[in-house]
C-alpha cells in the first residue's frame, strides 16, 4: 500500500478561492442521490497572485457534469480531487454528482441510519457529498433544497425554512437558507420518518425561537429532559456570556448510528441518541448528566465554533477546548461544582494523562496529522479545556468576561487561531501570555515537585517543574503554571485563603513569613493546572487535609492520595495486602459526614481505578494491581461493614426518582455502599443486591445493583448473577441504549471468563457489529478492563486486533478508536509487550489499511 502522507501546520496557506454562496439541491435516493451544487466564487487576494487554477476536494463521487459560467469546464479528475484551469477571478461553478447513502458505512458525509438520511461532515465529510474546498477557512452562505419521496416526510437542513410543498409526482421539497456564513463541515441534512417534541424560547431581546427535538416515535417520551436542558443552556449563555441565539429555529435530531457524541451543525444539531434520550427507568444519573452537558456543549458551539470557527484543523481546540470549558462551567452551575470538578479531573487522569504518556502524545494544537479524525482526542478536548480554565484563573472572572466579549466582537464571522484567542486574553487583561502559549505547542504532562522547610516563622516552598520528552520534542521549555494554594493551621483554619502562584521558571522559591507555627500546605487547589504534583507528606497530613481543607478538590485529592500511597506500598510488597488502620479510620470519619454532601463522600470513598494505579508505575504490574485493589475493596468492606449497612439502609427508601443534585448524591453513595457490601460476600448482602436489581424504580439503582452482582467475589452469587443478567436483558432487549449498559457491565467484570463472555456477546441478537455505540459499549469497554484485557496469554490483544481488522473496511473512524490500548505496550512487562506488538504488526500487515488505523498503528510501533 502507498504510505499516507502527513499534513503540517507549518505548510498552511490561505485558500486560493473564496465561496460567497453555495446553493445545493439534493434529490434523495438510497442508492443514487443526485447532488447539484452552484458555487459563487472569487479569487482570494490574501492567497497571492491568481493563477487561474483551483483544486476542490471530493471522495466517492460519480461526477456527471462540471460547468463554469455556463460553459463546460476545463478540468481533471482523480478519486479525491477536481482541478479546474483557466478560471477568471470571479466565476460560478456548477457541478452534478451522484452518491450512494445506503453503501456509506463510514457514517461520514450523507448516509442512512435505520431508514433516516443523515449527515456528518466534520471534519472532512462534506467532500463525500459534492465537490468543494472542504476546509474550515472557506465560509459560505448556504441555501439547500431537498427533494424526496413523500414516504420520507420530514426534511431538515441548516437555517430557516423558506418554502416547502408537495410536487404532485410522489415527491415533495423543502428549501432552507442559512444567513450566516459557515464552513462546509457545519452543513447538515436529515430526512426521514421522525417525530418532534416542540417548544419555544424567548431570548433576552424578546425574539421567539422555535425549538424542536426530533426522534423516532417510540423515543419521543424520552426527549423532555433534553428540551429542558436546551432551554437552561440558552438562558445560561445569555446570562453568563451575553450570547443570544440568532436563528428563528433550533433543531436537534437523535440518530442511533453516529460516530461522534453530537455535532453542532448550524441550527440543526445531530446527536447520538445516547445524549438526547433520558427517562428515569432507562437512563442513569450519569446519563442525565451527559445529556445535559452535551446539549449545552453543542448549543454553546453556536458562538464558540460556528460564529467564530477554526482557521485550520490544527486549531481544533480553539472551539472544542473552549466549549468544553463552557459546558463544564454550565454543569457546575446546574449541580455540585465540587463533584463536577472532581469528575472532570478523574476523566482527565483516566483518558488524557495516559495519552500524554503514549506514542500518540501530541500538543493541544498538533503540528501534523495524517488523518484529522484521529485528533478528536482527550488532549484537544479535555486538556484543551484545562488550558482555557488556566486563562480564566489567571485573569479572574471579571477580566475573563471582558476578554470573551472582545473575542466575540473582534472575530465574529471569522476563521481564527488559538493565538488569536490568547491575544484577546492579553488585550483585555494587559497580561503577557507569551510563555503561557507553550501549553498549546508542547505535548506531555508537566510534573511539579515541592520541597518545604520552616524556620523562624517562615515557610519556604521550593517548586521545580519538568516535562518528559515526547515524539519530536525531546526537551521542553518551562510552562507558565498557575498553582493555587493555601495554608492551614493546626486547627484546620485557612491562613491566607487561596493564592495563585505563577510558576514560570524551572525552579522557584516562595516564602510565607510571620507564621506562628508551621502550617500544612494545601496545593493545586481546584486542580488549577493539568499537572502531576509530588510532595512528601508528613505522617497524618493527608488525613488532616481530608478532614479540614476548605477546598473540596484538595480534600478529595488528599483522600485519594491516602488510598494510593497505601495501595502502591502494598503492590511493592510480596506479603498479602492489608488496609492500614489509618486509612480505615479516615474512611470511617468521612462516612460519618454522609448526609451533608453524599455525592462528595461517594467520590472520596471510591477507590482509584486499576488503570490509574498503573499510570503511577513505570511498568504496569497488571496482576498485582488487581490483587491489591480487590483486597482493599474487601478490606474496607469488612472493616466498615456496619457503616456501609447504615448508609445503605438510610437511603434505600424507594423514594420516587428526581434528577436533582441531592438525590443524585444519595443514589451515588447508596450504590457505593451496596458495592462494598457485595464484597463481603454474605448471604444478606447478595440478597439485598439481587432485590434492588429486581425491584429498583429507576435505572440508576437497577444498574448499580446489577454491576455489584457481576463484581461479587468469585464463587459468590453465581445463580443471582445469571438470573439478574437474564431478567435485565429480557426486560430491556428492545431499548438499544439500555442494552449498551448491559454489554458494558459484563465487559468490565473482573471475572476470569470475561473475555469468553464478551466473545459470545458479539453474537447476541441485540449486538450490531456496525453500530458505534454497540462497539464502544462492548469491545472498547473490554479494552478498558485492565486485568482481563491484559491477560498474560495475550488472548485479549488478539480479540481486539481481530475486531479492528474486521471493522476497518466498514468504519475506519471507529476502528481507529479501538487501537490505542495496544499502542501502550512499552508500559507493560516484556511478555505482554511482545504480544501487543505482534498484534499491532498483524494489523499493520493488512492490505488496504485505512489512513485512520495506519496512523495510530504506525506511531505506536515507532514509539
Residue 137: which pLDDT band, with cuts at 50, 70 and 90? very high
Query: Domain containing 381 — which CATH number?
Result: 1.10.390.10
Statement: residue 157 has pLDDT above 70: yes
CA dist 88 → 54, 72, 134 (Å): 11, 14, 21
Mean pLDDT across 382-395 = 99
Residue at 832 is within a domain:
yes
For the chain, the farthest-separated pair of C-alpha atoms sits apart, in whole angstroms, at 93
Mean pLDDT across 165-185 = 98
Confidence (pLDDT) at 656? 96
Residue at 209 is within a domain:
no
Confidence (pLDDT) at 169? 98
Q: Specify whether 715 is located in the same domain as 857.
A: yes
Q: Specify whether 521 is located in the same domain as 411.
A: no
Query: Domain containing 525 — which CATH number?
Result: 2.60.40.1840
At which of 144, 178, 193 does a domain end?
Answer: 193
Residue at 848 is within a domain:
yes
**Residues 99/33, Cβ–Cβ less than 8 Å:** yes
Backbone torsion region of residue 491, taken as left when φ is above 0, otherwise alpha when ψ lies between -120 and 50, otherwise beta: alpha
Task: Please report, to the nearest 10 degrees, the dihedral formed by the alpha carbons of residues 800, 802, 805, 807 taken in order.
Answer: -70
Q: What percent of the chain has pLDDT over 90?
A: 99
Q: Specify whether 102 is located in the same domain as 180.
A: yes
Phi, psi angles (nearest 5°) of residue 581: -60, -35
Statement: residue 1 has pLDDT above 60: no
How is residue 146 written as a grid cell? 431537498
Statement: residue 204 has pLDDT above 70: yes
Q: Specify whether 518 is located in the same domain as 571.
A: no
**Residues 782/755, Cβ–Cβ less than 8 Å:** yes
Q: Specify whether 483 is located in the same domain as 631.
A: no
Is this prediction's pTM over 0.95?
yes
Statement: residue 595 has pLDDT above 90: no
Angle between the N-to-C axes of helices 552-571 and 541-548, in degrees from 0 to 180, rounded to the nearest 10? 150
Statement: residue 345 has pLDDT above 60: yes
**Residues 71/33, Cβ–Cβ less than 8 Å:** no
At which of 141, 168, 193 does a domain end?
Answer: 193
Q: Specify whether 608 is located in the same domain as 514.
A: no
CA pair distance 718, 703, nearest whole angstrom: 17
**How many C-beta atoms surround the C-beta of residue 795 within 10 A?**
15
Question: Residues for the chain: how many in total?
Answer: 863
Question: What amino acid positions are annotated as catalytic residues?
Answer: 298
Report how many domains make up the chain.
Answer: 4
Q: What is the pLDDT of residues 93-118, one digit of tens each?
A: 999 999 999 999 999 999 999 999 99
**Under 8 Å CB-to-CB from 545, ≥6 apart: which residues?**
488, 520, 522, 554, 555, 558
Q: Which domain holds residue 766?
A: 552-862
Query: Domain containing 597 — which CATH number?
Result: 1.25.50.10
Q: Specify whether 678 is located in the same domain as 802.
A: yes
Residue at 23 is within a domain:
yes
132: which DSSP letter?
Answer: B
Mean pLDDT across 359-385 = 98
Best CA proximity match to 826, nearest among 571, 621, 612, 619: 619
Confidence (pLDDT) at 678? 99
Q: Specify whether 518 is located in the same domain as 570.
A: no
Statement: residue 811 has pLDDT above 60: yes
Q: Specify whether 713 is located in the same domain as 772.
A: yes
**How many C-beta atoms surround the C-beta of residue 425 within 10 A?**
23
Q: Specify whether 140 is located in the same domain as 157.
A: yes
Mean pLDDT across 732-760 = 98
Q: What is the pLDDT of residues 630-685, one digit of tens each?
A: 999 999 999 999 999 999 999 999 999 999 999 999 999 999 999 999 999 999 99
CA pair distance 503, 434, nearest whole angstrom: 14
Residue at 568 is within a domain:
yes
Mean pLDDT across 140-167 = 99
Looking at every residue in the chain, the average pLDDT score rounds to 98
Mean pLDDT across 300-328 = 99
Q: What is the pLDDT of residues 452-507, one digit of tens each?
A: 999 999 999 999 999 999 999 999 999 999 999 999 999 999 999 999 999 999 99
Residue at 255 is within a domain:
no
Q: Specify whether 470 is located in the same domain as 423.
A: no
Residue at 214 is within a domain:
no
Mean pLDDT across 258-268 = 98
Q: Specify whether 714 is located in the same domain as 786.
A: yes
At which of 441, 472, 502 does a domain end?
Answer: 441
Residue at 253 is within a domain:
no
Statement: residue 863 has pLDDT above 90: no
Statement: residue 28 has pLDDT above 80: yes
Query: Domain containing 116 — which CATH number?
Result: 2.60.40.1730
Starting at the edge strand found earlier in the chain, the sheet holding 81-84 runs: 54-57, 81-84, 75-77
CA dist 81 → 134, 173, 523, 660, 717 (Å): 11, 30, 54, 53, 61
Q: What is the pLDDT of residues 615-637, one digit of tens each?
A: 999 999 999 999 999 999 999 99
Amino acid at each position: 500500500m502507498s504510505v499516507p502522507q502527513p499534513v503540517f501546520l507549518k505548510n498552511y496557506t490561505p485558500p486560493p478561492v473564496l465561496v460567497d454562496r453555495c446553493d445545493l439541491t439534493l434529490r434523495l435516493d438510497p442508492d443514487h442521490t443526485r447532488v447539484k451544487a452552484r458555487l459563487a466564487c472569487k479569487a482570494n487576494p490574501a492567497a497571492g497572485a491568481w493563477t487561474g487554477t483551483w483544486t476542490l476536494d471530493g471522495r466517492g463521487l460519480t461526477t456527471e457534469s462540471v460547468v463554469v459560467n455556463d460553459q463546460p469546464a476545463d478540468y481533471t479528475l482523480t478519486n479525491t480531487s477536481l482541478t479546474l484551469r483557466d478560471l477568471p477571478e470571479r466565476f460560478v461553478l456548477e457541478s452534478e454528482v451522484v452518491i450512494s447513502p445506503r453503501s456509506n458505512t463510514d457514517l461520514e458525509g450523507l448516509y442512512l441510519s435505520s431508514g433516516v438520511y443523515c449527515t456528518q461532515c466534520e471534519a472532512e465529510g462534506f467532500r463525500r457529498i459534492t465537490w468543494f474546498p472542504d476546509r474550515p477557512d472557506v465560509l459560505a452562505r448556504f441555501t439547500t433544497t431537498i427533494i424526496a419521496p413523500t414516504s420520507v416526510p420530514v426534511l431538515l437542513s441548516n437555517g430557516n425554512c423558506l418554502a416547502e410543498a408537495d410536487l404532485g409526482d410522489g415527491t415533495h421539497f423543502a428549501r432552507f437558507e442559512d444567513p450566516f456564513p459557515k464552513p462546509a463541515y457545519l452543513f447538515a441534512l436529515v430526512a426521514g420518518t421522525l417525530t418532534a417534541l416542540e417548544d419555544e424560547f424567548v431570548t433576552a431581546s424578546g425574539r421567539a425561537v422555535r425549538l424542536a427535538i426530533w426522534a423516532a416515535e417510540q423515543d419521543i417520551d424520552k426527549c423532555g429532559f433534553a428540551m429542558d436542558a436546551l432551554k437552561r443552556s440558552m438562558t445560561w449563555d445569555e446570562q453568563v456570556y451575553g450570547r443570544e441565539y440568532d436563528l428563528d429555529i433550533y433543531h436537534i435530531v437523535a440518530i442511533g448510528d453516529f460516530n461522534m457524541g453530537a455535532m453542532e451543525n448550524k441550527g440543526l444539531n445531530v446527536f447520538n441518541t445516547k445524549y438526547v434520550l433520558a427517562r428515569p427507568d432507562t437512563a442513569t444519573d450519569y446519563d442525565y448528566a451527559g445529556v445535559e452537558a452535551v446539549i449545552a456543549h453543542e448549543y454553546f458551539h453556536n458562538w464558540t465554533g460556528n460564529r467564530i470557527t477554526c482557521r485550520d484543523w490544527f486549531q481544533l481546540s480553539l472551539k472544542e477546548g473552549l466549549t468544553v470549558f463552557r459546558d463544564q462551567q454550565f454543569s457546575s452551575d446546574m449541580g455540585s461544582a465540587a463533584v463536577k470538578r472532581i469528575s472532570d479531573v478523574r476523566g482527565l487522569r483516566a483518558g488524557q494523562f495516559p495519552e500524554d504518556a503514549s506514542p500518540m502524545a501530541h500538543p493541544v494544537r498538533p503540528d501534523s496529522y495524517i488523518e484529522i479524525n484521529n485528533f478528536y482526542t482527550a488532549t484537544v478536548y479535555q486538556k484543551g479545556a484545562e488550558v482555557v480554565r488556566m486563562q480564566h484563573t489567571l485573569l479572574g472572572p471579571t477580566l475573563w468576561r471582558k476578554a470573551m466579549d472582545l473575542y466575540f466582537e473582534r472575530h465574529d464571522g471569522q476563521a481564527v487561531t488559538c493565538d488569536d484567542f490568547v491575544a484577546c486574553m492579553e488585550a483585555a487583561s494587559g497580561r503577557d501570555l507569551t510563555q503561557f502559549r507553550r501549553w498549546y505547542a508542547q505535548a506531555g504532562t508537566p510534573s511539579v515537585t515541592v520541597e518545604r522547610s520552616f524556620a523562624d516563622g517562615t515557610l519556604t516552598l521550593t517548586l521545580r517543574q519538568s516535562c518528559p520528552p515526547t515524539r519530536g520534542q525531546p526537551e521542553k521549555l518551562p510552562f507558565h503554571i498557575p498553582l493555587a494554594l493555601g495554608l492551614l493551621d493546626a486547627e484546620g483554619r485557612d491562613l491566607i485563603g487561596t493564592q495563585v502562584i505563577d510558576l514560570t521558571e524551572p525552579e522557584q522559591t516562595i516564602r510565607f513569613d510571620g507564621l506562628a507555627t508551621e502550617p500544612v500546605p494545601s496545593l493545586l487547589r481546584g486542580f488549577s493546572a493539568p499537572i502531576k504534583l509530588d510532595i512528601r507528606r508528613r505522617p497524618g497530613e493527608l488525613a488532616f487535609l481530608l478532614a479540614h481543607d476548605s477546598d473540596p478538590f484538595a480534600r478529595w485529592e488528599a483522600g485519594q492520595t491516602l488510598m494510593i500511597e497505601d495501595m502502591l506500598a502494598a503492590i511493592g510488597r510480596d506479603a498479602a495486602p492489608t488496609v492500614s488502620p489509618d486509612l480505615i479510620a479516615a474512611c470511617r470519619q468521612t462516612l460519618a459526614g454522609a448526609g451533608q454532601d453524599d455525592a462528595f463522600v461517594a467520590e472520596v470513598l471510591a477507590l482509584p481505578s486499576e488503570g490509574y494505579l498503573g499510570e503511577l508505575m513505570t511498568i504496569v504490574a497488571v496482576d498485582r494491581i488487581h490483587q491489591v485493589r480487590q483486597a482493599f475493596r474487601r478490606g474496607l468492606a469488612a472493616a466498615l461493614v456496619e457503616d456501609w449497612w447504615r448508609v445503605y439502609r438510610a437511603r434505600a427508601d424507594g423514594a420516587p426518582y428526581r434528577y436533582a443534585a441531592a438525590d443524585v448524591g444519595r443514589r451515588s453513595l447508596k450504590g457505593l455502599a451496596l458495592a462494598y457490601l457485595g464484597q463481603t460476600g454474605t448471604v444478606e448482602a447478595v440478597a439485598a443486591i439481587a432485590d434492588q436489581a429486581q425491584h429498583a424504580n429507576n435505572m440508576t439503582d437497577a444498574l448499580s445493583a446489577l454491576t455489584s452482582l457481576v463484581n461479587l467475589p468469585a464463587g459468590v452469587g453465581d445463580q443471582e448473577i445469571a438470573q439478574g443478567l437474564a431478567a435485565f436483558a429480557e426486560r430491556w432487549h428492545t431499548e438499544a441504549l439500555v442494552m449498551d449498559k448491559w454489554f458494558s457491565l459484563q465487559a468490565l467484570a473482573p471475572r476470569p471468563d470475561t473475555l469468553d463472555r464478551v466473545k459470545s456477546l458479539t453474537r447476541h441478537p441485540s449486538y450490531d457489529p456496525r453500530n458505534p455505540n454497540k462497539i464502544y459499549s462492548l469491545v472498547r469497554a473490554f479494552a478498558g478492563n485492565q486485568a482481563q484485557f491484559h491477560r498474560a496469554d495475550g488472548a485479549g490483544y488478539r480479540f481486539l486486533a481481530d475486531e479492528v481488522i474486521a471493522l476497518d473496511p466498514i468504519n475506519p473512524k471507529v476502528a481507529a478508536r479501538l487501537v490505542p490500548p495496544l499502542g501502550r505496550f512499552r508500559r507493560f512487562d516484556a511478555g505482554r509487550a511482545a504480544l501487543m506488538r505482534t498484534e499491532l504488526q498483524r494489523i499493520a500487515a493488512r492490505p488496504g489499511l485505512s489512513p485512520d488505523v495506519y496512523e495510530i498503528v504506525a506511531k505506536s510501533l515507532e514509539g
